[in-house]
Amino acid sequence: MKSDPAPELPFGTLRTLGIAAAQKLSGNIWTDYNLHDPGVTLLEQTAFALTEIAYQSDHNVRDLLTRQAQETDYGQLALFAPAEVLTSLPVTLRDIAGILSDITGVERVFTRNGPALGLVSLLIVPAELTTSDAERNTLVEQVRATFDKHRLLCSDVHAVEIATPQPVQLRGTLQIDPLGDPDAIAAEVIFRTKHVLRGIKPSHLNQLQGATRNDAFRDPSALLPALLPEASGAKQLDVILTAIKSIPFVQEVTHFDVISEATGLSIKESGSELAPNAYFETGRPTEKMLGNLFLRRDNAAIALNIHAINDELVRWEAAEIAAKGNRKDANDWDVLTQGQHRNIGMDGVDAMLPAIYRPAPHANNAAAKARTQASNQLSAYRRLTNAHLRGLIAPIAGLSDRFCISQTIDDTDPAQVRERVAVLDYLIALQGEAMPKIDPVTLHTYRGLSQQERWKVSWRADYLANLAAYNSLKGSADPVHGFVGRVTHLADLQQPGQSLIDASLVKLIRQPQPALRASPDAQAAPPEAPFDVFVNRRDDVAPLDQEGLARYCPWLLDGQTTPDLFRLSAQQTSYKIFEIDDKRLELRFDPGAGYAHHICDTGTDRNALEERGNQIRLTFQMLNQQAEEIWLIEDIRLRQDAVDFSPATAYALLPNWTLRTQDPAFQQFISNLVRELAPAHVHVRLSWLSPWKMELVKTRHARWKKQPDKANTRKLRATLRRLGDCP
């Protein structure tokens, strides 16, 4: 709901209101309103200052966001270009055809439903009919790669073929205006006929221009080639006739037809005999193709020049290529231009005051000193007013710094962190989004307090910076900004391909916990305070290497341990320091009730032992984080033939053996995210796997990838279908 803006309050109105308020408070005996009265002057200063601030804040927003160097970083301000916002994932077959038809070297891609839900067959019409086999193979690979980049989850290519052209001849009579150029008209007839036969909407030469933002907002496909749906020969002929009749200087069209060279019949009759991978094609103008096409002026026949027609046709094709490279109207889309920097401050206020009320200048003469003394005497009158005015000015003057994605703050100051989080949440809300809610204790299992504050800001800032890409590829199979990429970021999971530490440092085994090195509690003196035994957290230490793990982690036998110990080793409270005697201390790992402690290290320096404990904890924490990667397997990608898969079904696999993923609250958070972000038509089965189940899936998936035969596919699919659904 929109409300009317507040009425303007100019200087005179503000001054009148201020005096009335002063008289009301003083009983109408306040002043004679002369300049010798500081109260009146300060009231006038305040009224003028408010008017000045209102004027400054009424500058164009673009100017207010422009920095002193006359530059505006729109990316930092989370103001995305229209081309980033007004784009979306292809949903329909027409959308897919449009994106694929925009590939260089491709004139048109026909998209057809495959034999099962989710499968798409692609038929490519090359831009040049004389392409070699190598060029044709390259086109096929380019089309496959582009489809893969933009495809929705649980969709795939069934088959890709290069279309086979079937030559045609044009037949008919065109009466043209005396001012018309017959060769140019004949070229346009060929151009329009070729486009319709290839499934492209015909257009005039002066219509080959980009779409505006309004066009894209009404119909996102306006940014793609204008395509016609596949149609029968009869419908194609009707569209061709309509297009030819709209050509300038064409007065009448009679007996027009398009004849197949293979059958000698009209395309209305030959269409049913056309092979599924074939299409009708005009090709370059020849005597044979135009032998039965007649142009007449005042009922007199006109001789056509094949070379001139070809030159005109080349001009049309060049204009088409230029339009294909720029689907957008540049003048309409180029909105992220630089503004004019505005100095927002109180200089204008001070300049209008009598000299005695201005801040003292930096000078050393007698007049300046006298002015300084007078200014100091009146400073009490101005202090509160100036503070209030500066409070009004500051947000306007600092817009470009305040409302930006990246800003340097003191992350040890909770107030600055709260303010930064609020600004980022506001900027995200402007994009129609909101960060998911989750218990911070669950999400910050591996973080100390300072890391938590830093992460609250970076989590939002990184999401905001990539939000346009996330929305553009929403629900897609894109690994970075598609479904998996978005879940990975929001759930703070491990990024695919990103390595925190060598995962082979520790291997998990099924056996019961290894033999423990007991530390008799009788030798340990009880601490004066119970919390003194715990190792104080530090995150500025380096992780251990393989030699360090073997030396300080006795619960590792040849680099192997159980999932329980692997998980507990990443927990801060598992490490304790006990005083054995007056001089000796022991760093111990506590594996939980019922088990004796493991002695990690001994010494006399508590700080050194605390550093060692933090090194062990950090190493296992990184190993736990390294394992927290979501793995998505789409059933459609495992198929052996056209229909042996479950449509719209995918398996999302996550480990259940890390410190964070064993938490039911974290599992529920992931489950909610998957349900919210997955496309509505796709069922994503989320499973939390033990190390052994995960290893089994990886082994069978590797075998299938190496040799995707029926036997390996059957074993992999059987393994996936036996996995339990998420809790």
pLDDT digits (tens, 9 = 90+) for 541-585: 999 999 999 999 999 988 999 999 999 999 999 999 988 877 789
Pairing relationship of beta strands 649-655 and 631-634 according to DSSP bridges: antiparallel
Distance set, CA 168 to CA 165, 259, 269, 579 (Å): 9, 5, 13, 96
DSSP states of 199-223: TB----GGG--PBPHHHHHH-GGGG
Q: Residue 297: beta bridge partners?
A: 300
Asked if 358 and 350 count as a contact pair (C-beta separation under 8 A), the reply is yes
179: Cβ–Cβ under 8 A, 6 or more apart, which residues? 249
Mean pLDDT over each residue of the chain, to the nearest integer: 84
Give the chain's count of helices (H) and strands (E).
27, 16
* Spatial CA neighbour of 406 closest among 486, 487, 460: 460
Number of neighbours of residue 577 by Cβ within 10 angstroms = 22
pLDDT tens-digit map of 85-129: 877 777 788 889 988 998 888 989 999 999 999 999 999 999 887
Least-confidence region, from 41-45, 138-142, 229-233, 412-416: 41-45
Answer whether residue 41 shows pLDDT above 50: yes
Asked if 188 and 301 count as a contact pair (C-beta separation under 8 A), the reply is no
What single-letter amino acid sits at 29?
I
Number of neighbours of residue 680 by Cβ within 10 angstroms = 6
Q: What's the CA gap between 666 and 643, in Å, rounded?
A: 36
Answer whether residue 364 shows pLDDT above 80: no
- Look at residue 305 and give its three-state secondary structure: coil
Q: What's the CA gap between 55 and 582, in Å, rounded?
A: 74
**pLDDT value at residue 518:** 44
Confidence of residue 205 (pLDDT cuts 50, 70, 90): very low
Supply 448's token pair: 């100390």
Beta-strand ranges (E) seen in 33-163 are 106-113, 119-126, 156-162
* Spatial CA neighbour of 77 closest among 402, 549, 415: 402
* Secondary-structure breakdown of the chain: helix, strand, coil percentages, each rounded to the nearest 5: 45, 15, 40
Cα dihedral 701, 703, 708, 713 in deg (nearest 10): -60
Asked if 513 and 595 count as a contact pair (C-beta separation under 8 A), the reply is yes
Q: Is 172 left (phi over 0), alpha (psi -120 to 50) or beta?
A: left
pLDDT tens-digit map of 488-535: 999 999 988 788 888 889 999 886 654 444 444 434 555 555 668 899
pTM summary value = 0.82
Sign of CA dihedral 592, 594, 598, 603: positive
DSSP states of 468-485: HHHHHTTTB--TTTSHHH
* Spatial CA neighbour of 256 closest among 185, 165, 169, 177: 169
